Amino acid sequence: MRIRAISPAGVRLEGPIESLTVDTSTGQQTILEGHSAFIGLFARSSVRVVLDPGEAQQRTAELWAAYGYVHVLDADVLLVALGFADTEVELDAMVTAIEAARRRPLEPVS
């Protein structure tokens, strides 16, 4: 199974994985090889990825994602987010900034 995690800032994570766990609006989902087609939305989510499929010593990647979705089709996982963070504190700051920007009135274009 392969993942591609992207945001407007670029590709955050790409390559083979064993599993992905993400918090969606309908609950926590763990995606394994052979998972059925799936789309899940999230406002904020912890993301845990088990890397190095088939290796005796597995590595994990843990990150946080804001405002996005996960799409699973066949052996491909696409994780799209407005932003990624390394810690929950960074995610909180990002979400606060995004929400403040959404509340600002639009300025007319000249």
Task: List the CATH number of the domain containing 9.
Answer: 2.60.15.10
Query: What's residue 59's pLDDT?
Result: 87
84: domain range? 2-103
108 domain-assigned: no
pLDDT digits (tens, 9 = 90+) for 49-84: 998 777 767 789 999 999 999 999 999 999 999 999
Amino acid sitting at position 93: A
Residue 46: partners with Cβ closer than 8 Å, 6 or more residues away: 21, 22, 23, 62, 63, 64, 88
80 domain-assigned: yes
Return d(Cα 62, Cα 74) in angstroms, integer.
Answer: 23
Query: What's residue 54's pLDDT?
Result: 73
Judged on CB neighbours under 10 Å (0-12, 13-18, 19+), 30 is: exposed
Q: Which sign does the torsion angle of CA 43, 87, 81, 50 carry?
A: negative
Stated as kind and residue range, the H or E segment containing 65 is strand 60-73
β-bridge mates for residue 21, sequence order: 30, 48
51 domain-assigned: yes
Number of H helices, E strands in the chain: 1, 6
Give the chain's domain count. 1
Query: What's residue 56's pLDDT?
Result: 67
pLDDT digits (tens, 9 = 90+) for 15-56: 999 999 999 999 999 999 999 999 999 999 999 999 877 776
109 domain-assigned: no
